[in-house]
């Protein structure tokens, strides 16, 4: 069984891709809504929360993991993998697949938008620069929480204004969505860059590259079961789950 984990609705963007390309995979998704969002948290806090998430999933039979959260991917995956003794091929994070995908594009100058934890780590910068790519980093600290809270379109677009400004100031050609929440508002960002930037700007969602690696490395055969485990109930999460996956899933609230 494949297990995905994130602080909340963000990882659903990865799950959507995986579900579309591997519909028979049995999937268990842990959403830690009681501690969302993960972006502002310290590395120490992320270690504790990640251990908890992986323990919950392993106790339910998960043996292959997707860390569907960039803050976790950049901060704690290596020590966590060592602690749990996961062999290579049993854990997929977000940054490596993103770098490999963008490398083969006509990407120009790159802007990675992400949470504070992801920007603070410097991992995206190092990964991209080692491949000879020019990259700028921009933290968008309000965005994940706004998406998680289900705020109005106008508020989302207000939060995204600095992204458009950065594209203009730094002549950005490609935006990489360095938080799994952000693809859920990709259409808004695309509209804003088309209207507010004089040159074309591509937007890259790493979820597709992560899914391709999962299909190559994981067992995606099964009966197609989909179960959500949540540390706290959320109407926003239920709305997104129903919108993206219809009725073919179950939700369990952990006590």
- Over residues 188-232, the pLDDT tens digits come to 999 999 999 999 999 999 999 999 999 999 999 999 999 999 999
Is residue 24 annotated as involved in ligand binding?
no
**Considering only the top CATH level, what class is 2-93+208-253?**
alpha beta
Going by pLDDT thresholds of 50, 70 and 90, the confidence category of residue 78 is: low
Is residue 208 annotated as involved in ligand binding?
no
Alpha-carbon gap, residue 54 to 62, rounded angstroms: 9
Q: Which candidate in 28, 66, 68, 69 is catalytic?
A: 69
- For the segment 64-72, the average pLDDT, to the nearest whole number, is 94
Going by pLDDT thresholds of 50, 70 and 90, the confidence category of residue 53 is: very high
Task: Give the DSSP H/E element, type plus range, for residue 196.
Answer: helix 186-196
179 catalytic residue (yes or no): yes
Is residue 191 annotated as involved in ligand binding?
no
How confident is the prediction for the chain on average, in pLDDT? 93
| Residue located via tokens 């976790």 | 72
Q: How many CB atoms lie within 10 A of CB 176?
A: 25
Q: Where are the domains of the chain?
A: 2-93+208-253, 95-205
Strand-pair category, 110-114 with 135-139: parallel
Alpha-carbon gap, residue 228 to 4, rounded angstroms: 10
Is residue 211 annotated as involved in ligand binding?
no
57 within 8 A of 32, measured Cβ to Cβ: no
- Under 8 Å CB-to-CB from 134, ≥6 apart: which residues? 108, 109, 110
Alpha-carbon gap, residue 24 to 19, rounded angstroms: 8
Is residue 39 annotated as involved in ligand binding?
yes
Task: Give the DSSP H/E element, type plus range, for residue 106.
Answer: none
Compute the CA torsion angle 143, 145, 147, 149 (nearest 10 deg). Answer: -150
Is residue 108 annotated as involved in ligand binding?
no
Give yes or no on whether 2-93+208-253 and 95-205 have one common fold: yes
Is residue 180 annotated as involved in ligand binding?
yes
Q: Which CATH architecture has domain 95-205?
A: 3-Layer(aba) Sandwich (3.40)
Q: Which candidate in 77, 179, 207, 220 is catalytic?
A: 179
| Residue located via tokens 């991209």 | 128
- Asked if the model's pLDDT at residue 153 lies above 70, the reply is yes
- Asked if the model's pLDDT at residue 81 lies above 90, the reply is no
- Asked if the model's pLDDT at residue 105 lies above 90, the reply is no
Alpha-carbon gap, residue 16 to 126, rounded angstroms: 28
Collapsing DSSP to helix, strand or coil, 21 comes out as helix
Task: Give the DSSP H/E element, type plus range, for residue 126.
Answer: helix 123-130
Is residue 107 annotated as involved in ligand binding?
no
Q: What pLDDT, on the 0 to 100 scale, is given for residue 101?
A: 86
Q: How many CB atoms lie within 10 A of CB 109?
A: 14
Predicted TM-score (pTM) of this structure: 0.92
Task: Give the DSSP H/E element, type plus range, for residue 135.
Answer: strand 135-139
């Amino acid at each position: 069984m494949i297990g995905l984990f994130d602080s909340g609705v963000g990882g659903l963007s990865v799950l959507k891709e995986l579900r579309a390309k591997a519909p028979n995979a049995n999937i268990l998704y842990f959403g830690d809504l009681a501690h969302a969002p993960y972006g502002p948290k310290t590395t120490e806090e992320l270690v504790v929360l990640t251990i908890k998430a992986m323990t919950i999933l392993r106790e339910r039979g998960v043996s292959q993991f997707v860390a569907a959260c960039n803050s976790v991917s950049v901060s704690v995956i290596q020590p966590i993998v060592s602690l749990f003794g996961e062999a290579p091929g049993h854990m997929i994070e977000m940054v490596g697949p993103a770098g490999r995908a963008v490398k083969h594009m006509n990407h120009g100058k790159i802007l990675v938008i992400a949470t504070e934890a992801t920007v603070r780590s410097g991992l995206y910068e190092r990964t991209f620069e080692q491949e000879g790519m020019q990259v700028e980093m921009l933290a968008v600290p309000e965005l994940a929480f706004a998406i998680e809270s289900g705020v109005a379109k106008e508020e989302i677009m207000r939060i995204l204004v600095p992204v458009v400004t950065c594209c203009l100031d730094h002549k950005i050609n490609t935006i990489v969505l360095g938080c799994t929440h952000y693809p859920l508002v990709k259409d808004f960002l695309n509209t804003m860059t088309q209207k507010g930037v004089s040159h074309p700007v591509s937007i890259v969602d790493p979820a597709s590259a992560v899914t391709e690696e999962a299909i190559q490395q994981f067992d995606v055969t099964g009966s197609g079961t989909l179960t959500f485990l949540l540390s706290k109930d959320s109407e926003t999460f239920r709305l997104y789950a129903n919108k993206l996956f219809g009725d073919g899933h179950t939700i369990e609230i952990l006590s």
